A = this chain, B = another copy of it.
Amino acid sequence: MELTGLSIIGMQRSTTGGRIFTATNPANGAPLPGEFHSASPADVENAAQLATKAFTSYAQWSGKRRAALLEHIAQFLESHTATIVKRANLETALPIARLEGELARTCFQLRLQGESAANGLFAGARIDHAQPGRTPIPKPDLRSMMRPIGPVAVFGASNFPLAFSVAGGDTAAALAAGCPVIVKAHPAHPGTSEIVGRVIQEAMHECDAPEGLFSLLFDVGYNVGASLVQHHLIKAVAFTGSRRGGRALMHLATVREEAIPVFAEMSSVNPVFIFRGALAHKADEIANGLQASVSLGVGQFCTNPGLVFIESCKGAARLIDKLKELIAASPAGTMLSPDIYATYQQTVDKFSQITGVRLLAVGKQVSGQASSAMFAADIATFLDNRNLMDEVFGPSTLLIECNSRKELLATAEQLEGQLTATIHATPDELSELRSFVEVLSTKAGRLLFGGFPTGVEVAHAMTHGGPYPATSDGRSTSVGTRAAERFLRPITYQNFPDAALPQELQEANPLKILRLTDGAWKIS
């Protein structure tokens, strides 16, 4: 596929004229083929107008028809696997096998959201029958269901060039919900974005989708993103990236006249709490798992475990010794971009200079590549330095040895919002930790007993979200089928004739979906 570098506006391509940029191979710093043209204000306007027009028809598509569209996108992506993965590897330095896995995950997400739309999972149908004879006033017939919110602006993330980018989780969720999507491509993988965008465009064409249901805009700067968030026709925003980026979008949304929801998934250090009982028998196993989780993908995961609290004991010493060995032996790796690498280096240097913070181990060093790093601090140092809670994007972790269980429990209260929190303990210990678990549940969207937080399963029961700064709205998730709920709102139809109601609410329940009827769950 020949790259054109042009934005995709519905079934058209943009014209040239905007600021031109190229992609860089992070493995060698060389520019990659393809010149990309930043979209113009007219392109943004066209995309928004087309999306709005597309919305009026797409919102009425049945769940089954949306599922067929998402299935087509998945199949078309699969048939372009080699092309997509090859370019993504050049643009991100992520290994081919990882990218193949990520493409499979992307297709799985599209299908799961599509099937869920087809099965009526998102309908949330409710019926309260009329009581015409009720006194003092009759009760009307009320029927409600979840309907799509409108065009959604999606911002591609740098660290998942497929699963959290052009055809990623946000796009799948929005399309399944019934919303048009305008993607702002991440400028670090524009070629991958164009290929995936064109594949989506083909699938849309194949399925007779209304023009403008999908657009993809390039920009090397911030204008296109800012215009999208502030455009009056955009009704929701989905973003995965840094705290700074997320806050900027949140701010832009507050100064527009019409308030809209901004779902930004931003920053998490994913604390791991390791108790004495777990250390007694599993110190080596935990050390192995932790090192693997810290180093996975050169630490470029939002669920990377950046903070580890350890209950002081013999096992703790063994764990730390083992970890030192493992981290020291960890290979260096190329990060997603030179900027990300530079920021990682700076943060590691900053950590090293904080009084009370000790660098326990550094991984193998290769020029231009990120080395794993492991720091330690005592609890007083940790509590005195709030910035030790800031996310470090890269293969680094900070160990805090706690002198008592009480000290360890006290740290939980101090945490900011997180995507995940992990507990290593015996089941007996866990049963003594009820109030600790309760506190953690107010801090994180996902609690793990054992294991490590990297590896986010795509499932109905997944929550990939958490209180600020993990996300801008701790009531949301960006992974799993609940992700579609971000783009839905309830609508009530009062005293409508049956024939004028959406099928989901018609008396005979033609779609055979679950409904809350007069307060009871029914499928017939």
> Is A438 engaged at the interface, CB distance under 8 Å to the other chain?
yes
In the complex, whether A474 has a CB less than 8 A from a CB of chain B is: yes
Write out the residue numbers on chain B whose beta carbons fall within 8 Å of the beta carbon of A491. 441, 444-447, 463
Pick the contact of A490: B451, B477, B488 (CB < 8 A): B477
Q: From residue 438 to 458 of chain A, which have CB atoms closer than 8 A to chain B?
A: 438-439, 441-442, 444-451, 455, 457
On chain B, the residues within 8 Å of A463 by CB distance are 144, 490-492
- A144 and B462 contact, Cβ closer than 8 Å, known pairs A450-B495, A457-B139, A491-B441: yes
Which of B251, B449, B489, B523 sits near A493, CB closer than 8 Å?
Answer: B449
Q: Contact flags (1/0) for A421-451 with B, using CB distance below 8 Å?
A: 0000001001100110111011011111111
Given the known A-B contacts A139-B457, A260-B468, A500-B449, are A251 and B250 also in contact in the complex, defined by CB atoms under 8 Å? no
Chain B residues, CB < 8 A from A477 = 490
Interface residue? A143 (CB, 8 A): yes
Contacts of A441 in B (CB 8 A): 147, 491
Flag whether A289 is at the interface (Cβ < 8 A): no
The reply to whether B451 and A494 contact each other, CB–CB distance below 8 Å, is: yes
Determine if A5 is an interface residue (Cβ-Cβ < 8 Å). no
Cβ of A519 under 8 Å from chain B? yes
Residues on B with C-beta less than 8 A from A494 are: 446-449, 451
> Cβ of A20 < 8 Å from any Cβ of B?
no
Contact B261 A467 (CB under 8 A): no
Query: Could you tell me if A493 and B447 are in contact, using CB atoms closer than 8 angstroms?
Result: yes
**B258, B417, B438, B500: which contacts A417 (Cβ < 8 A)?**
B258
Are the CB atoms of B140 and A451 closer together than 8 Å? yes
A445 engages B489 (CB within 8 Å)? yes
A window 105-139: CB within 8 A of B: 119, 121, 126-128, 136-137, 139
* A17: interface (CB < 8 Å): no
Q: For residue A259, which residues in chain B have a CB less than 8 angstroms away from its CB?
A: 250, 468, 472-473
Q: Is A482 an interface residue (CB 8 A)?
A: yes
CB contacts (< 8 Å) of A140 on chain B: these are 451, 457
Q: Taking the nearest CB of chain B, how far is it from the CB of A147, in angstroms?
A: 6
A462 / chain B contacts, CB cutoff of 8 Å: 128, 142, 144, 492
The reply on A323 being an interface residue by CB < 8 A is no
Measured CB to CB, the closest approach of chain B to A255, in angstroms, equals 9
| Contact pattern, A 473-497, Cβ under 8 Å of B = 1, otherwise 0 | 1110100001000001111111111
Residue in B101, B251, B258 whose CB lies within 8 Å of A254: B251
Residues of B within 8 Å of A499, CB to CB, are 427, 431
Q: Does A459 contact B (CB under 8 A)?
A: yes
Task: Determine whether the beta carbon of B468 is less than 8 Å from that of A490.
Answer: no
Nearest neighbor of A426 in chain B, beta-carbon distance: B497
A250 touches B258 (CB 8 A): no
Given the contacts A446-B491, A495-B450, A500 and B457 also touching, CB distance less than 8 Å:
no
Encoded as 1 (CB less than 8 Å from any B CB) or 0, chain A from 196 to 211 comes to 0000000000000000
Residue of B whose beta carbon sits closest to that of A474 = B489
> Known contacts A492-B445, A521-B514; is A427 also within 8 Å of B500 by CB?
yes
Bitwise interface map of A from 406 to 431 toward B, beta carbon under 8 Å scored 1, else 0: 00000000001100000000010011
- Considering the complex, which residues of chain A in the window 41-68 have a beta carbon less than 8 Å from any beta carbon of chain B? 55-56, 59-60
- The answer to the question of A19 belonging to the interface, with a C-beta cut-off of 8 Å to chain B, is no
Chain B residues positioned under 8 Å from A126 (CB to CB): 460-461
A430 CA / B140 CA spacing, docked (Å) = 18
Chain B residue nearest in CB terms to A145: B461
Contacts of A377 in B (CB 8 A): none
A440 to chain B, nearest CB (A): 9
Chain B residues with CB under 8 A of A469: 258
Task: Give A479's nearest chain B residue, CB to CB.
Answer: B492
A:74-103 near B, CB below 8 Å: 101
Bound together, the chains give a CA A104 to CA B101 distance in angstroms of 58
A460 touches B519 (CB 8 A): yes
Residue among A258, A457, A465, A488 having the largest count of chain B Cβ atoms under 10 Å = A457
Q: What is the distance, in angstroms, from A407's C-beta to the closest C-beta of chain B?
A: 19
Q: A461-B142, A523-B521 are in contact. Are A475 and B261 (CB under 8 A)?
A: yes
Bound-state Cα–Cα, A490 to B481, Å: 12
| Separation of A461 and B60 alpha carbons in the complex (Å) | 21
Tell me which residues across on chain B come within 8 A of A475, comparing CB atoms: 149, 261, 488-490
Residues 155-182 of chain A, each 1 if its beta carbon lies under 8 Å from chain B, else 0 = 0000000000000000000000000000
A497 to B416, CA, bound (A): 26
Among A119, A136, A446, A492, chain B packs the most CB atoms within 10 A around the CB of A492
Which residues of B are found within 8 Å of A427, using beta-carbon distances?
A: 497, 499-500
6 more A-B residue pairs beyond the given contacts A258-B417, A427-B500, A444-B491, with a C-beta to C-beta distance below 8 A: A59-B438, A60-B438, A258-B467, A261-B473, A261-B475, A460-B519
